């Protein structure tokens, strides 16, 4: 796998994992201020979720890299 393919795989996995972690631990605000959506999260903790996503995406990219390099996963015709 080339470095460009690795970057593409990482970016795709990062966004996929990020969207999966967004609803984790979300609680609605108890007191809704005028003009705010009642379903908006009280503390979304996006920084923590982005950091966790970065680590998980890096591990998954490493797994994909190892699968491709070992020959278990290939996109070439036999």
> Binning pLDDT at 50, 70 and 90, where does residue 68 land?
confident
| pLDDT reported for residue 57 | 98
| pLDDT reported for residue 78 | 60
**Sign of the Cα pseudo-torsion (71, 73, 75, 78, in order):** positive
Whole-structure pTM value: 0.81
**Sign of the Cα pseudo-torsion (53, 12, 41, 25, in order):** negative
pLDDT in tens, 4-58: 999 999 999 999 999 999 999 988 888 888 888 888 888 889 999 999 999 999 9
Element spanning 9, H or E: helix 3-21
The per-residue DSSP string of 28-68 comes to: B-SSPPTTS-TTSBS---HHHHHHHHHHHHHHHHHHHHHHH
């Amino acid at each position: 796998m080339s470095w460009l393919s690795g970057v593409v795989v990482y970016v795709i996995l990062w966004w996929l994992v990020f969207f999966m972690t967004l609803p984790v631990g979300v609680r609605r605000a108890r007191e809704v201020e005028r003009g705010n959506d009642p379903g908006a999260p009280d503390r979304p903790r996006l920084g923590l979720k982005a950091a966790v996503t970065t680590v998980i995406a890096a591990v998954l990219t490493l797994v994909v890299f190892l699968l491709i390099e070992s020959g278990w996963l290939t996109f070439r015709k036999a």
